[in-house]
Amino acid sequence: MLAHDFGNVRWRKSTYSGNSGECIEVADGHANLVAVRDSKAPYRPALLVHPGAWTEFISGIQAGAFPAAD
């Protein structure tokens, strides 16, 4: 398992996110990876995703492929 340094990356969350702390944050710009973390637990390890998989995931959300949580 490789360790990745995310100390100098800029994390962002959706502008649709509120302040409830139930969001994910994303850091792009890392070599061949998109890092995803829980905004309420930023000290925990980030999930590392291939950029192509991330793009497909976002496209699926936009297409309504995942039902909204109630």
- Structure confidence by residue, pLDDT tens digits, 45-65: 889 999 999 999 999 989 999
Total number of domains constituting the chain? 1
If one compares 27 and 8, the residue with the highest pLDDT of the two is 27
Residue 29: pLDDT band by 50, 70, 90 thresholds? confident
- Give the pLDDT score at 49: 92
Residues 6+ apart with CB under 8 A from 66: 60
In three-state form (DSSP H/G/I as H, E/B as E, the rest C), the secondary structure along 4-70 is CCCCCCCCECCCCCCCCCCCEEEEEEECCEEEEEECCCCCCCCEEECHHHHHHHHHHHHCCCCCCCC
Whether 58 is covered by a domain: the verdict is yes
Q: Give 49's strand partners.
A: 34
Whether 6 is covered by a domain: the verdict is no
- Structure confidence by residue, pLDDT tens digits, 1-25: 455 666 677 889 887 777 776 788 9
Domain that holds residue 38: 24-62
Global pTM reads 0.75
- Give the pLDDT score at 1: 43
Whether 32 is covered by a domain: the verdict is yes
